[in-house]
Chains A and B, each alone.
Chain A
């Protein structure tokens, strides 16, 4: 059936984002020194789209013949994606010329990837999930290898592409089986008949393959092989986006796919699977991160561990856990982007100064950066008044509610392990003498990005209950 005009008005965030991409292409085409213009234009675009999405948080609707959902949960995800991307662009503005990828296309590809994430978070149809996923993934493959003169970047891009394509293969095969057994790609229809479909072997196989594919995308343990090399090889700010936006988008799809489980309190068939990968990811990420001296690599392993904590919420499978995951994702996005922002300011030419020794005595060189880095590390470790703590707290509480106390205990244990390597950075910054001699370049936009993420984390940490209530109020299963 043809769409009404109000429907076009309701998907305004998507239309804005799409026209933003097209306008950026035109700017890039006709304007010689397009890079600064495109940078600020992207920031403006992301913030506009974020606020437009947030404005419609209370009137959720499923539009375009059951294709996409706007308002409600997707609005929160859109906020995370767009603000995260805005912060990332701010950190990138100076960084990309240092890294050697000062192209206008960089901003266009970031915008496209955000559009892909938004489509994933709002998807109400398997088609839309696949389209959004591919849009996001292809942009990430390109971003990872954007500097084709760097061998590590090429390696990162190649590994990411091959394993990403492999994961996409799983997802498509899963979608095919789900379509074959249910006869539709429309998620609302699948959810209606979920209780009968879940006894169908083919449907469960399909859903299982689908979940395995997305476990690649969220970087959970047995499917994490690509993470350290890709995160280390790509440009720092790009890694920031991949580890936050990409992970958030993948989690949003997992939440959508399992919302039938969360809604009807149907038997959570995949609880053992999720419990297994969460335990493995948490322990593996936390333990291996201890041995890392390169901060990007350390953050890569820490991102595996964080994926593990979030998967606890999926294993718990109730409304509270979903709200907890969303809160955790929001907090994680900004603390990780902040940490990568600091890294990108300090990083020198040709991937130098990423070692933890470069951070020794940072306090004397730049007290502001040291303070914010400490803030992000505390947040990532989950020290109580920070946002990271509440993210973990909500997820663990939800797990205990679902009689998964043992999972919560392992989660707490592994966070205790992780405190070691996060605080090691703080110790280096404040209590060690500097051994490497370098000067920090002036980078106002980068600093702005760090400050914004810091403020957001503090806000999340001060009023977590209010935010959680907002999230719970818009969850509509």
Chain B
């Protein structure tokens, strides 16, 4: 067994355990803590795939910014114990499990039974090559310049929207 596989197994275990812990803990803040741990494991997995940029962005954006805001809200609300919605509604639990099984079956099918097309294989090889930040930057500013600019306008609109909804002076 080489180092890569050992690392993969460790990170995958952490990811699975932390995500299970996340949905089973009754306290929302503790759930958030496990989610952060999960993000770390994922970022490690990205590193193993040579996607350094995605790995670091995962930590900076998700763990470093979004989850801090989540925690911020959870702490200010100071909810002590989340009421278990599954206890109030048994049918919901069955529905949720069914959806989970469906998605799991589909992912399993994707991994083990579907034969990916040749185009996909070559793309995977290419994307492993282009995980470095220089290549991502080049792609973003040439091939994907238009979606990139569109994302800029999306963020602008979202910012203006958030500002206008929380306007102080509201006649």
A binding-site residues for B, Cβ under 8 Å: 1-3, 18, 21, 25, 64-65, 67-68, 100, 102-103, 105-106, 108-109, 112-113, 115-116, 119, 125, 127-128, 131-132, 134-135, 138-139, 141-142, 145-146, 148-149, 180-184, 201-202, 205
Contact = CB atoms under 8 A, between A and B. Distances in A.
Contact of B154 (A1, A3, A131): A131
A324 to B, nearest CB: 30
SS of A interface (majority): helix
Interface string B132-171: 0000000000111111011101101110110111010011
Contact of A135 (B144, B146, B157): B157
Given A25-B160, A102-B171, A183-B119, 9 more contacts: A1-B142, A1-B143, A65-B142, A65-B146, A68-B146, A105-B164, A106-B164, A108-B160, A149-B170
Contacts of B109: 202
Nearest to B115: A200
A109 B154 contact: no
B78 interface: no
B110 A202 contact: yes
A127 B144 contact: yes
A128 B153 contact: no
A141 B161 contact: yes
Given A138-B158, A202-B114, A3 B145 contact: yes
Q: Which 10 A-B pairs have the closest CB atoms?
A: A142-B161, A183-B120, A183-B119, A112-B157, A131-B150, A105-B164, A127-B147, A67-B146, A64-B146, A65-B143
Contact of A128 (B119, B143, B150): B150
B171 A100 contact: yes
Contact of A18 (B110, B149, B161): B149
Contacts of A134: 154
Contact of A109 (B122, B123, B161): B161
B164 A132 contact: no
Contacts of B114: 181, 201-202
A134 B156 CA distance: 12
B157 A139 contact: yes
29 contacts: A1-B142, A3-B145, A18-B149, A21-B156, A64-B145, A103-B167, A105-B164, A109-B157, A113-B157, A115-B153, A127-B147, A131-B147, A135-B154, A138-B157, A138-B158, A138-B161, A139-B157, A141-B161, A142-B164, A142-B165, A145-B165, A149-B170, A180-B120, A181-B117, A183-B117, A183-B123, A201-B114, A202-B110, A202-B114
B48 to A, nearest CB: 20
Nearest to B139: A65
Contacts of B147: 67, 125, 127-128, 131
Contacts of A146: 164-165
A105 B116 contact: no
A369 to B, nearest CB: 28
Contacts of A67: 144, 146-147
Contacts of B117: 181-183
B139 to A, nearest CB: 10
Given A131-B151, A135-B150, A105 B157 contact: no
Interface in B105-136: 106, 109-110, 114, 116-117, 119-120, 122-123
A131 B147 CA distance: 7
Contacts of B158: 138
Nearest to B117: A183
